Structure 1
Amino acid sequence: ELPESWVNLPRYHHQYIPDLVQYEKGGLSKDEKRKLILKGHKLKEIKRRYGNMQAIMLWKRRNTNFVASDPRGEGTAEIINFYQ
């Protein structure tokens, strides 16, 4: 899979205090939510989006590079080749 697919995934976050699993819409499947609740976790779907990931993948065998920037955050992913 390419980095763009990683950075676009919905996020979830477990906080110890308060003991709460927060997740973006689509961040957990119905089955995952059911299993977490059965284990005693408290869940909360959050309305805001969070994330600010920049990803770089170097594929040496094919001499190819891929970059991706999280659309929820700021910034850009970029590769600068110092060896040309």
Structure 2
Amino acid sequence: MYVVIRDHGIGISPEELAWIGEPFYSTKDQGAGLGMMASRQIMEEHKGTIEIESVTGESTTVRVRLPLNRTTRTKGAVGL
């Protein structure tokens, strides 16, 4: 299963993109940069991935992929 999120904002420079997901790094004036780090750790714990592609001045695309393992689903879980 995967989710793709795309915006058409200012993008992220290649230099900044290399640091995304590191603790206490933020490209904005606000925030501690912990959100992407936590997201990456969650994906890794679930054997998934998170990928970020960006074109400076145009857009950013985030792809989140999780393996779909039907044998470990719990009773009452919503199916995909």
Using the size of structure 2 for normalisation, the TM-score is 0.26
Which protein is bigger by CA-based radius of gyration? 1
Question: RCO higher in 1 or 2 (8 Å CA, sep ≥ 6)?
Answer: 2
Using the size of structure 1 for normalisation, the TM-score is 0.25
